[in-house]
Chain A
Amino acid sequence: MMTEDTIAMVLAGGVPTREQFSVLTMNRSKAALPFGGVYRLIDFSLSCLMDSDIERVGIITQFLPSSLIDHVADGYSWDMKGYQRCAKILPPYISYEDNHRWYRGTGNAILQNINFIKDRQPKHVFIVPGEHIYDVDFKKMLRQHEKSDSQITLAYKEMPEQRYCPRFGYVKKQDSTITDFIEKPDEPKSRYVSLGIYLFDTEVLLEEIEKRGEDRDFFDLVSHIIVPLANEKRIEGYEHKGKWCYLYDYLDYFLYHRDLLNGDLPLREWNIMTNLEDRDTGFRPPAQLYSSGNINHSLVAPGCIIEGEVESSVLFPGVHVKRNSKVTHSIIMHDAVIKENCEVSGLICDKDVVIEPHCKVVAMQKNLISRDSLILLGKSSHIQSKQKIKPGTHIKPGTIL
């Protein structure tokens, strides 16, 4: 099968700014953000690779990688463990050579791990983001790439102009040929968004990476390789028709969970694999719902105990909502406990948070939640009883309030 000659590099080392994810990325990388119940963001890319039979994968990490390393573990969960299969974490390192230091841009990160690619002698290399939500068929993309006379293929998606976003890279195309790549344009110039998914013939990638690496210290895969190449070489465009979600900040994180509840993000139909050993996700008892509680328009993971009222919320494994408490429009992560007589809305609550009785954690203002009003509680923070948390409050991990 053709995928035997293919490897993938997953970019999972991005540094989110504090404004973007605030307390949610104080202890973990963006790729390790829990999502939708039992998953983490990295699961989407690894599951797509698994479904496409790409079984040799390097994962580039740098920013707070511990949770990610635990989660990826030996790659077993994505069938990447076994003879000539791997999911290998690639951290930055130092050596006798000057240029081995912290990764300086995505291109530099690939350069520093060039031996991972060379050792495996693949025909093709995928470079894919590990922090987006998508179900791209890499096999189909590879098939189109092999049929074309191009040495580089990039995946794009057509987006309506009203959903234009200045943070994306856009491409122009003629038939299936990419004619121009415009990184983060100020105004809409195309409807085709680049998904950050690239497929290279190995020799082209190695040549370009090594060439650019000689010229400059910091270099980026997009602006220093793809954009110039769009003028020099023919780049094939692969159109992805399914979902693709980019999470810019915690508001996106909140909104994509709302999409989940509204059925606009059909994860139920995807074949997503995750590490079931991580925090015992796969070993929890089923959710227990008591008569004192009520639940509607919500998602509930295993291990939850619901004695209170839950509405329009996503509960991760092991969440306990006690009697006479009401949780609405919230995302509550693993093992958080909301004790009796609390009112919670518009909350993104990280793991192991405890909210003591009679607290009011309410972000809703006139039935609306905005980026400024969302409340974020960092991992293991503890809200003592009878407190009122104001809209827009962000509590750092481990804080006792």
Chain B
Amino acid sequence: MNNTIALILAGGQGSRLGILSQKRAKPALIFGGSYRIIDFTLSNVINSGIQTVGILTQYKPLSLMDHIGKGETWGFIGRKRLCRILPPYTGIKDTDWYLGTADAVLQNLSFVQKYQGENIFVLSGDHIYNMDYRKMLDFHLQKEADLTIAVQKVPLQEAHRFGIAVTNKSDKIVEFQEKPPHPKNDLASLGIYIFSREKLFKRLREDANDPYSDHDFGKNIIPRMIDKDNVYAYKFDGYWKDVGTISSYWETHMELLEGREDFDLHKWKVRKNPYDRSVGEKFSSFFSKSSRVENSIIGIGCSIEGKIINSVLSPGVIVKKGAVIEDSIIMNDSYIGSDTHMKKCVTDKDITVASDARIGMGPNTPNSKYQNLLSDGITVIGKQAHIPADTTIGKNCLIFPDVTEECFEGNKKIASGSTIHSKVEHFWEK
């Protein structure tokens, strides 16, 4: 795979993930207990024998850069292997922020040229799937395609959420509809592309000169290539999920707990960075005599005295006696006090919940401020928030990062759909 390189688009803000992506790029969000979302794509790359990868970042890249480092833990180290973070840089033009996904790649063509990629994978850093790219590359080469797009059958009523490929009998794409209100087909693009170098360069340069273009692969480059070049659809039938919203993030975790054959982290060989927070060296998880665990995933370094049902706990979570955690996702190093009951919560790192709290109970009123984010009954708690004892918090609530006891102003009953803001003002939010 010497002539193949991968570019991972990891610049997205993931605004529909709300406070979970407030301080980090979406690909850096924790997933499945001890992974970050980008680990899945990055592991697919190395497991497929692709040795050169560039990661295009833009939005709050620090967590991501810390996490990836030089790519050592994925095996990208050695004379013939390379993992490079590619942030925006100032250059010839006045506006140097990446304008869109296509512009991001255009600005890094020199990286592609330097490492002599003939076949260029353009991947997304925010999807959960396990795929051998070699099979797709074989297909691409066999079809002598200029562009191959991985697609998957979706229910027709959901097709409007995706880019939809309309194909002929030989899998050639004849039309591409980006999020169409009336989809003509049920084959959704998975955001996994292989471009041949010459055609990619040519089309990107044309696009750059088009003042009306959004410089986006889905909206501009792909439709143009379908008109002019050989574009094929490669059918992938494995598990694939875009975890772009709080609901899909939660649902994907619940699917992980189902023990599905096609979504089994014990078989996927996902690599990660265990040096991040020294997570790999934590002491094993302890389950006391009072603990009870049903159908859950528990990271290293947890201490469980309470009851865990259908939940995913990241490393270092402490759950005291009498506490019940149900249908929830609890991220690293959080503390759940005794006799607290949490249901359908997604909580960021380092939160503290004092004893006797009840969170995620009550009527399913959508969030009054962020209705588009929170209406499925999930309550979200931000990083380092502190929930005082005896507090009841309803469904679809949003507790901002760094919230302290004072922010509750003595209120012990937080109705469903409420939002609690932090009193800490961050200079970057002004």
Q: Which residues of A are interface residues toward B (Cβ below 8 A)?
A: 36-38, 261, 267-268, 272-274, 276, 281-283, 285-291, 293-303, 305, 314-315
Contacts and interface: CB of A to CB of B under 8 A. Distances in A.
Nearest to B268: A285
B34 interface: yes
Nearest to B309: A291
Interface in B286-300: 286-300
A296 B280 contact: no
Contacts of A287: 285, 297-300
A178 B93 CA distance: 75
B297 A298 contact: no
Contacts of A295: 287, 291, 293
A291 B297 CA distance: 11
B259 interface: yes
Contacts of A315: 284
A268 B289 CA distance: 18
B300 A286 contact: yes
Contact of B270 (A267, A274, A285): A285
A295 B278 CA distance: 26
Contacts of B274: 276, 281-283
A286 B295 contact: no
A273 B280 CA distance: 9
A36 B294 contact: no
B281 interface: yes
Contact of B287 (A285, A288, A291, A298): A298
Interface in B266-282: 266, 268, 270-272, 274-275, 278-281
Contacts of A296: 287-292
A38 B280 contact: yes
B267 to A, nearest CB: 9
Given A267-B283, A301-B285, 20 more contacts: A37-B284, A268-B283, A268-B301, A282-B275, A283-B270, A285-B266, A286-B34, A286-B300, A286-B315, A288-B297, A289-B298, A290-B259, A290-B294, A291-B294, A291-B295, A296-B288, A296-B290, A298-B286, A302-B299, A302-B300
Contacts of A282: 73, 272, 274-275, 279-281
A10 B340 CA distance: 48
Contact of B295 (A36, A273, A289, A302): A289
A297 B288 contact: yes
A37 B281 contact: no
Contacts of A294: 292-293
Contacts of A283: 73, 270-272, 274, 280
A19 B83 CA distance: 50
A291 B293 CA distance: 7
A38 B300 CA distance: 10
A41 to B, nearest CB: 15
| B268, B279, B287, B313 pick with most chain A CB within 10 angstroms | B287
B32 interface: yes
A145 to B, nearest CB: 30
A286 B280 contact: no
Contact of B298 (A268, A297, A300): A300
B287 A297 contact: yes
A261 B73 CA distance: 31
B295 A290 contact: yes
Contact of B284 (A288, A289, A300): A300
Interface string B302-338: 0100001000111100000000000000000000000
B163 interface: no
Contacts of A300: 284-285, 287, 298
Contacts of B313: 286
B62 interface: no
A315 B300 CA distance: 12
B280 A276 contact: yes
B191 interface: no
A293 B294 CA distance: 7
Query: Would you list the 6 A-B pairs with minimal beta carbon distance, nearest first?
Result: A282-B274, A282-B280, A37-B284, A286-B33, A285-B265, A299-B284
A304 B289 CA distance: 19
B295 A297 contact: no
A36 B299 CA distance: 16
Nearest to A296: B289
A283 B259 CA distance: 20
Contact of B286 (A38, A281, A299, A305): A299
Contacts of B298: 286-287, 289, 300
Contacts of B290: 296
Given A285-B266, A289-B295, A274 B289 contact: no
Interface string B74-87: 00000000000000
29 contacts: A36-B284, A37-B284, A38-B284, A274-B280, A283-B272, A285-B32, A285-B265, A285-B268, A286-B298, A286-B300, A286-B313, A287-B297, A288-B259, A289-B293, A289-B294, A290-B294, A293-B293, A295-B293, A296-B288, A296-B289, A296-B290, A296-B291, A296-B292, A297-B287, A298-B286, A298-B287, A299-B286, A300-B287, A302-B300
B32 A286 contact: yes
Nearest to A267: B283
Nearest to B278: A273
A290 B315 CA distance: 18
Contacts of A285: 32-34, 265-266, 268, 270, 297
| A282, A285, A288, A315 pick with most chain B CB within 10 angstroms | A285
A203 to B, nearest CB: 37
A301 B284 contact: yes
A38 to B, nearest CB: 7
A204 B89 CA distance: 59
A290 B259 CA distance: 9
| B285, B288, B289, B292 pick with most chain A CB within 10 angstroms | B285
Contacts of B308: 289
A317 to B, nearest CB: 9
Contacts of B34: 285-286, 302
Contacts of A36: 283-284
| A36, A273, A276 pick with most chain B CB within 10 angstroms | A276
B281 A274 contact: yes
| A286, A287, A291 pick with most chain B CB within 10 angstroms | A286
A58 to B, nearest CB: 23
A400 B312 CA distance: 38
A282 B72 CA distance: 13
Given A295-B291, A295-B293, A281 B280 contact: yes
A264 to B, nearest CB: 13
A177 B151 CA distance: 77
Contacts of A298: 286-287
Contacts of A261: 286
A299 B288 CA distance: 9
A285 B35 CA distance: 8
A204 B274 CA distance: 42
